[in-house]
Structure 1
């Protein structure tokens, strides 16, 4: 038997992974997965590229997601059935299944599944979601919660929400905080922002790829924050409500919408900001806020409890979801000493090792109840 054949296998089910933070989790988990291991990725995003990994980790992309949601779920379930159906239960080496987000595809697994739950926003902040999307998420989350042997929550807040909304007891859940390290050194600033910075203007950065990010609060506060440009990180996804807020703002000329940035451009934008803002109406964790603090950038967060958890209490916290509260928090953040670089959060290597340990502690030889 070769070393590869003697290694345990982890199947990463990714049909619930789309643009945004969960794709980042997929990339960093694969990049830092401890060896010796085989990783078999089911339903990888269409354009996702396998990152450099530990030489002792063999990565195989079993399937990729079709563009159509129904086909993506069906093909992922079929691929998962094929991968897990050939695994021997209760023997060494072990095969374990980790779903990186709740998905209907877990119905295809012939082995117990551990599912990562990032948030329950579709229940607690459904604004802007269509009826069809809400219904799909109700079904997919209900299926994943019912069929998973264990649920890993990215925050204590999400664990609390699982208990309150689904009655999931603590003995079926654990908290797993993602890493917050950015391994890519900062590169050049995006051209529009570099031009403004070269003219001596300071800027505030805010995540703005989804309606719950609260960018309209930052835009409304901008007239009371003279001397600052507001850089909205859209990730390539423009939100009409935010564009409408900018159109009616008295400081329109001080707002920049930035499209999807390369990793070094993202790191440069966050590291160079006078402060990083997350006035979100809802978060399951708040990874960008933790990343910003780790880069030594002052951070402002809304009263959302997950953001307070993600930043370890080191961020300036708004008292209400209002522009006045954001102005006060920006003043607090920018007049205090900048955070030490590298002291907030944990590295992706540490976080991934913790994830692997949690997965290894999940059942491997029996199906969850209800299967």
Structure 2
């Protein structure tokens, strides 16, 4: 089956949660090529189909409430929509590992973003670790092919699950954003006063925001804007109280894409002092917007930014201060000069879906 031939792709979103994976869903749907049909199963609650899409898109269902209910409903829906579908004209793509793919009557390709639940399980409840163990195990067993967003994730699949490289491929997401809009009110007020801000991704415990908070005392003249995505982390609030810098930290809730782009584009630097990443899309987006990026020593972040970010030499506040000082003191990156567009990334994804896997799924799945 050629990638140029019109097809129907059933896109499973049951494993998609807050953060960068939701952006991946939105941009992939937005840039899916015209003439190819998409049927989206179990999209996140309230997720809207992009109005500026090119393809024929049908939103079959949103995620049901509760983890068990969401997976059960998605499994049943996948079973229904794949039953009787022509195998030579229909493909199934899961945007993140999910046990719901067990309901598919057709081969499945799964995108794997990271294996954080195995390599950085801190702060995850026992229930979440067990759920991810089941969902990732199902994805490894059932998927005909696994697409890894970084070489680091591909390496982790081999080491933890014994998945041979012949059964995987690397797919880097796009990094372009819509033109920047208005700043959120707190930053607009700060900008009018001539203030400068640093932005840090902060919607999950492994993002290392506590390092940015501890570094703030040695970074005078900057306010720290924490992007929570609507998921405020208690330990980060506690770190702010402990450091006594509440007057210089802004916790921002979920931002519409234009406000997000304006916030990042207007920052003195974008920080990702993460303890673990599978890729690091926000850092790549910052560079593409022309904002200096500072990243931790994590290898996936180095890969996502192609070595163009200033890299911390250790996971410490001191190393972050040195990296921010270097980033802010140097020339700003050229806007649009890093990464690839979502259109290019989606075309690559469509091509990977059309390719036949060279090996069958492995029988062994490590716990």
- Describe the SS at the equivalent of 1:49: coil
- Describe the SS at the equivalent of 2:261: helix
2:133 match: 138
- Alpha-carbon offset, residue 114 of structure 1: 0.3
- Alpha-carbon offset, residue 83 of structure 1: 1.2
Superposed CA offset, 1:207-226 (max 9, x none) = 11110000000000000001
1:170 match: 165
2:6 match: 7
TM normalised by structure 1 equals: 0.94
2:352 match: 358
Residues 321 and 368 of structure 1, relative CA distance in 2, 3 Å threshold: closer
1:36 match: 35
1:194 match: 188
TM normalised by structure 2 equals: 0.95
**Does the 8 Å CA contact 2:286/2:293 hold for their aligned counterparts?**
yes
**Separation of aligned partners in 1, 2:39 and 2:21:** 17
- Alpha-carbon offset, residue 361 of structure 1: 0.5
Q: How does 1:180-329 map to 2 (within 5 A)?
A: 180-183=175-178, 185-329=179-323
**Does the 8 Å CA contact 2:29/2:53 hold for their aligned counterparts?**
no
**Separation of aligned partners in 1, 2:217 and 2:163:** 45
1:60 match: 58
Moved more, 305-314 or 14-23: 14-23
- Describe the SS at the equivalent of 1:296: coil
Confirm or deny that 1:346 pairs with 2:340: yes
1:3 match: none
- Which stretches of structure 1, 4 residues or more, deviate above 6 A after TM superposition? none
**Separation of aligned partners in 2, 1:368 and 1:162:** 13
**Does the 8 Å CA contact 1:209/1:237 hold for their aligned counterparts?**
yes
- Alpha-carbon offset, residue 167 of structure 1: 0.7
- Describe the SS at the equivalent of 2:243: coil
- Describe the SS at the equivalent of 2:230: coil
Moved more, 268-277 or 193-202: 193-202
Superposed CA offset, 1:5-54 (max 9, x none) = x9310010111011211111111000001121110111111201000355
- Alpha-carbon offset, residue 367 of structure 1: 8.2
**Separation of aligned partners in 2, 1:346 and 1:115:** 21
**Does the 8 Å CA contact 2:167/2:360 hold for their aligned counterparts?**
no
**Separation of aligned partners in 1, 2:360 and 2:319:** 49
**Separation of aligned partners in 2, 1:348 and 1:170:** 25
Superposed CA offset, 1:153-211 (max 9, x none) = 0000000000011110000000000000002x211211111112211211101011110
Residues 356 and 324 of structure 1, relative CA distance in 2, 3 Å threshold: same
**Separation of aligned partners in 2, 1:135 and 1:237:** 22
1:86 match: 84
2:15 match: 16
> How many residues matched?
359
**Separation of aligned partners in 2, 1:368 and 1:81:** 20
**Separation of aligned partners in 2, 1:132 and 1:318:** 33
Work out which of the residue numbers 331, 335, 339 in structure 2 matches 1:337.
331
1:111 match: 106
**Separation of aligned partners in 2, 1:25 and 1:324:** 33
**Does the 8 Å CA contact 1:112/1:367 hold for their aligned counterparts?**
no
**Separation of aligned partners in 1, 2:150 and 2:194:** 39
**Does the 8 Å CA contact 1:147/1:369 hold for their aligned counterparts?**
no
Gaps of 5+ in 2: none
- Alpha-carbon offset, residue 258 of structure 1: 0.9
The root-mean-square deviation of aligned C-alpha atoms, in Å, is 1.5
**Separation of aligned partners in 1, 2:165 and 2:183:** 44
**Separation of aligned partners in 1, 2:322 and 2:37:** 50
Work out which of the residue numbers 87, 90, 94 in structure 2 matches 1:99.
94
